Structure 1
Amino acid sequence: MIVEEKISAEQFQPAHIDAAKGEVIEKPSLSFWQDSWLRVRKNKGAIVSLVLLVLLILMAFIGPHINHYGFNNQNLTKSNLPPRIPGIEKLGIFDGTQNVGGQKVNLYEQKGIKDYYWFGTDSLGRDLFTRVWKGTRISLYIAFLAAAINMVIGVAYGAISGYYGGKVDNVMQRIIEVLSGIPDLVVVILMILILKPGILSITVALSITGWVGMARVVRGQILKLKSQEYVLAAKTLGAKDGKIIFKHLIPNMASVIIINTMFIIPSAIFFESFLSFIGLGLEAPKASLGTLIEDGYKVLRFLPYQMLFPAAILSIIMIAFNLLADGLRDALDPKMRD
């Protein structure tokens, strides 16, 4: 059975289009940084790394003050105690027990110690929890110092070299070639001979050679950007060279600077830890993650926890910074966008 459907004459009328709504943008406009942040949020690895880094930075400052132990308080009667954490000890882990002569012994009960040492103690009876977070603070200081040196010296040097070009660029690049030809380890040893082992010698060494890589990257970007129309317009309007460099050119390559800085930070942390591990870092009683790993390495077979905690925190910091740098590169680099 065929049902006839009647079509009214109104359905044949042309649709009414409001010309005023034709230019309306339904989706809100986003700036470059807002769009980049949305892209970073989609990267779960970068967000988890950012959260971990924030927690580690907070613990580096508040961790040494959580308990009443000083980072250099020595008590030989409490030396080499294994980790003991209240509450968790009931689960059979971090309960203060240790294998001695093939038998599981609770050293806290054996020595009559009622205190809790969450990360255990070292050979001098110092609390490792306090020392680990104190060492994390030193390592993070070196990392952010390297970032600051690259952001200030490296960016300014590379921008000036690339913008002026000619003889200025030729002389400045020869200086960079001389500095890059000197190994960082040699520079640190020279600073130790002139000064003494410690943060100051590492700081001076980073200030001498740590910015070379960033300067080369910035110079290459400046050579590409200085021929753009907006630079020519600024020159036509009478803008000075300094204003063109720091107000027009550098802001336009902020993403490149941020990405390279984020990759430099874990390298600086590893560099400081390596120096401390081979004995060219901090002097006792100060501690960094490198010195703590070096101390724990000596007793790794018998007291593995003394190396486990600083090595784990160092690994988390380096992996988190690398994952965050990858996320920022994907979000900020136009070539990496889908």
Structure 2
Amino acid sequence: MENEKIPQEMFSPVEMDATKSEQISKPSLNYWQDAWLRVRKNKGAIVSIIILAILIIMAIVGPNITGHGYADQNLKHNNLPPRIPVLENISWLPFDGELTRKNGDTYNAYKVKHVDEYYWLGTDSLGRDIFTRLWKGTQVSLYIAFLAAAIDMIIGVLYGAISGFVGGRTDNFMQRITEILIGIPNLVVVILMIIVLKPGILSITIALTITGWVGMARVVRAQVLKLKSQEYVLAARTLGLSNGKIIGKHLVPNLAGVIIINTMFTIPNAIFFEAFLSFIGLGLQPPHASLGTLIDDGFKVLQLYPYQMIIPAIVISLIMICFNMVADGLRDALDPKMRD
């Protein structure tokens, strides 16, 4: 066996094309394409994006679906339970218009009050359509959250980039200001804003903005301190670029991942803070609707009509969970330290 030779006929030369041997088998991806591929692998983030897209679409078109205004009152139709066509015939679904008394008896509230209309999510104590108010409240809460997050991002990025890039006494002075603002509780700022301004979207947005940008500014400053000594920044200085152009063209684009992640975490915090203010009576005032005001109204009649609180509570929980899931997915995709 050791002396047995393999015949030469069993060998055949491999034909190789020199042009194809150096070809890249996979298409080259830029930073954002690679990040999107990583996000797609995160099933929780993808499901959350889909749910958020549905909620945002409903917040836009939902208030116009039923034909009822969010502030329209009809005391004859007050405290009606959810009732949806077709689904009302399915006994195990809570959309048949029936309520349960304290003694355990059930009755059809629509037949008792002789109401022929359908209220998909019921009505509140003033006869206002909860479906319309729910999506109008979602619209207002998302508007406040996105507006506050955008303002926080702009102020925080500019402040942190300038502080970290300039350094020295300027950085020292700017950081003392942020430390003072961090020491002021948000609730105190909100109360002061309400004393000066009327309770509403403007006062809530200003209160969220006054101290909300500090966290973004500190994160951006820390990253700028790390990046400003990189070779490409030194090369830009050698070529004579001004500090503003170096920050705008070199530093901020390299901080895009950190900025997006922090902004995504800011949005659910702003939604919760707005809901908390409205719940304790320092937010939007009637007849305006937000998720916080809906939860506050439902809490007052929780034992009798639990659906009035459960429905907006489910929506605000979905929004906060989904935004946090998306932020986690973006952090894993955009943070270089999380790469495989």
TM bin, normalised by shorter chain, reads over 0.9
Instruction: Give 2:97's aligned residue.
Output: 96
User: In structure 1, which of residues 161, 174, 177 is the aligned counterpart of residue 176 of structure 2?
Assistant: 174
> Residue 14 of structure 1: CA displacement?
5.5
Selected match of 2:188 from 186, 189, 194: 186
Q: CA separation in 1, counterparts of 2:276 and 2:224?
A: 34
Q: 2: CA distance between counterparts of 1:307 and 1:20?
A: 68
SS in 2 for 1:22: coil
Give, in angstroms, the shift of residue 110 of structure 1: 1.2
Is 1:78 aligned to 2:108, yes or no? no
* 1:150 shift after superposition: 2.2
CA distance in 1, matches of 2:65, 2:80: 19
TM-score for both structures, normalised by structure 2: 0.95
Pair 236,115 (structure 1): closer, same or farther in 2 beyond 3 Å: same
| Aligned twin of 2:325 | 323
C-alpha displacement at 1:15, in angstroms? Answer: 4.0
| Number of the residue aligned with 2:228 | 226
Provide the residue aligned with 2:308 in structure 1.
Answer: 306
d(CA) in 2 for partners of 1:15, 1:323: 51
Aligned partners of 2:271 and 2:181: how far apart in 1?
21
Alignment of 1:1-338 (within 5 A): 7-9=7-9, 11=11, 15-92=14-91, 93=93, 94-100=95-101, 101-338=103-340
Once the two structures are TM-superposed, the CA of residue 22 in structure 1 deviates from its matched residue by 3.1
* SS across alignment from 1:211: helix
Distance 1:86 1:15 in 2: 71
Runs of 5+ consecutive residues of structure 1 not aligned to the other structure? none
Q: Distance between the aligned counterparts of 1:199 and 1:15, measured in 2?
A: 73
Runs of 4+ in 1 over 6 A off after TM superposition: none
Separation of aligned partners in 1, 2:220 and 2:317: 29
Q: 1:302 and 1:131 mapped to 2: Cα distance?
A: 20
C-alpha distance in structure 2 between counterparts of 1:77 and 1:14, whole Å = 92
1:107-146 Cα offsets, whole Å, 9 max, x none, are 1011111100011000000000000100001110111012
Q: Secondary structure at the match of 1:73?
A: coil
Write the letter of the residue equivalent to 1:97. Answer: E
Between the aligned partners of 1:6 and 1:260, the Cα distance in structure 2 is 66
Structure 2 letter corresponding to 1:184: N
- The count of corresponding residues between Structure 1 and Structure 2 is 334
| Offset of residue 103 of structure 1 | 1.1
Q: Secondary structure at the match of 2:19?
A: helix
Question: Structure 2: which 5+ runs fail to align?
Answer: none
Q: Deviations over 1:160-198 (max 9, x none)?
A: 000000011011111111111100000000000001111
* Superposition deviation, residue 319 in structure 1: 0.3
The separation in 2 between residues aligned to 1:268 and 1:292, in whole angstroms, is: 17
* RMSD value, Cα: 1.5
Q: Secondary structure at the match of 2:123?
A: coil
Letter in 2 for 1:109: K
- Shift in Å at residue 19 of structure 1? 3.4
User: Under a length normalisation based on structure 1, what TM-score does the superposition of the two structures give?
Assistant: 0.96
Question: Hey, what's the Cα distance between the residues in 2 that align with 1:9 and 1:58?
Answer: 70
SS where residue 330 of structure 1 aligns? helix
